[in-house]
Amino acid sequence: MTEHSAFPFAYFFLGEYGNMILISTLGSFLFLGGYLPIQLGIFAFSEFISLGLKVALLIFGMVWVRATLPRYTYKDLMRLMWKSFLPLSISFVPFVLALLLILT
Measured distance CA(35)–CA(27) in Å, rounded: 12
Measured distance CA(102)–CA(100) in Å, rounded: 5
Measured distance CA(28)–CA(50) in Å, rounded: 10
Whole-model pTM over 0.85 = no
DSSP letters of 3-54? --TTHHHHHHHHHHHHHHHHHHHHHHHHHS-TTSPPEETTEE--HHHHHHHH
List, for residues 3-44, the tens digit of each pLDDT value.
677 788 888 889 999 999 999 999 999 998 887 777 777 667
List, for residues 72-84, the tens digit of each pLDDT value.
888 988 998 899 8
pLDDT of residue 50: 87
Q: Is pLDDT at 1 greater than 70 in this prediction?
A: no
pLDDT of residue 48: 84
pLDDT of residue 93: 94
